[in-house]
Amino acid sequence: MIEAMKKIIFTTVLSLFALFAGAQQLEQWTQFYANEYVINPAFTGSDDYFHAHALYRNQWVGIQDAPRTYYLSVHGPMVKNTMGLGGSVFSDVVGHTRRTGLQISYAYHLKLGDASKLSFALSAGVFQFSVDGGKLDLDNPSDIALSTGQMSIWTPDFGSGLRYEYKNFHVGFYVPQVANLRARFFNDYPETGNLLARHYYLNAGYLFEIGDDFGIEANFLGRYVNPLDMFEFQTRAIYREMVWLGASYRSPFISDQLPSAVGIMAGYQFNNNLMIGYAYDLPVGKIAGATSGSHEIVLGIRFTRNNNAPILPAE
């Protein structure tokens, strides 16, 4: 019974992150095109100005205790754009469980030519996992492996990433939770697994320019954590370098345990400094009847004076 309760506790805490991303312990974002930093720290300082973004996601509206995610990041270039520094804070909430963290990142950018660049990045952070044991409905609340109060642990984490860009194309690879550290509420039970599983992110994007007023951007993001996977394809139409409308499709290809989803995205960039974006996702399959979908909002600001020379919001 004790072993069963331990499994329930840690499955509850760590499995909730799989709810966020559909295929992983880490958070899910649809509008990663607006802030590539959330999926690869190698993007840190890629532009010649600082970025700040705030994101909020309300997952699976209508399902009790469904995930809610909050995220804030800032990053920019240093030392003549050869390096980048950034940081983020976030909080994932599902029912009576919470994952809160702080992460910093460093990137080095190596120019390979006038239009190409290779970036290397390292990230480090500290995370708090917490559960209100008194609000969990368990068969044996007096079990010695479970506290009936607020339980929380702090654990470090590390990641590494690569990114290559050439003109309107970019591709990146990122491995968060690369150290495979363990998260335990009770040191008395060292046999418990509870790994912060190593994840693998692969993303790519290309911007097709159509005349002076239009652009079509295609983005791809693949995520894998054994034994689950999730792949996402997106396309956006961008008008006059400030308004966009797009669609997305997310689905597993290796496993069959996770729901697919379709979505729409829209956004507006004001004076090349302020940006607002919105995304709506709707699961496909059995879960679709239980939820009205997921909502995501992103706000961004660029600390640049180049208002007279706007650029496409993708980068």
* pLDDT over threshold 60, residue 21: no
Give me the pLDDT at residue 142, please: 59
* pLDDT over threshold 50, residue 186: yes
Quick: pLDDT tens for 248-300: 999 998 887 778 899 999 999 998 889 999 999 999 887 878 888 899 999 99
* pLDDT over threshold 70, residue 16: no
For the ranges 79-83, 202-206, 307-311, the one whose mean pLDDT is highest:
202-206
Give me the pLDDT at residue 65, please: 82
Other CB atoms closer than 10 Å to residue 181's CB: what's the count?
A: 15
Band the pLDDT of 15: cuts 50, 70, 90.
very low
Rounded mean pLDDT, 214-238: 94
Rounded mean pLDDT, 226-239: 93
| CATH number attached to the domain at 2-303 | 2.40.160.40
Q: For residue 134, what are its two tokens?
A: 């008194």
Higher pLDDT, 13 or 43: 43
Rounded CA separation 292/14 (Å): 25
Distance in angstroms between the alpha carbons of the first and the last residue of the chain = 53
Rounded mean pLDDT, 120-135: 85
* pLDDT over threshold 50, residue 3: no
Give me the pLDDT at residue 14, please: 35
Q: Domains of the chain: which residue ranges?
A: 2-303
Give me the pLDDT at residue 220, please: 97
Rounded mean pLDDT, 64-69: 87
Q: Name the average pLDDT for the chain.
A: 83
Least confident of 10-14, 179-183, 199-203: 10-14
Residue 259 preceded by cis peptide, ω within 30: no
Quick: pLDDT tens for 201-224: 999 999 999 988 999 999 999 999
Least confident of 160-169, 182-191, 228-237, 278-287: 182-191
- Does pTM top 0.75 for this prediction? yes
Least confident of 182-186, 237-241, 278-282: 182-186
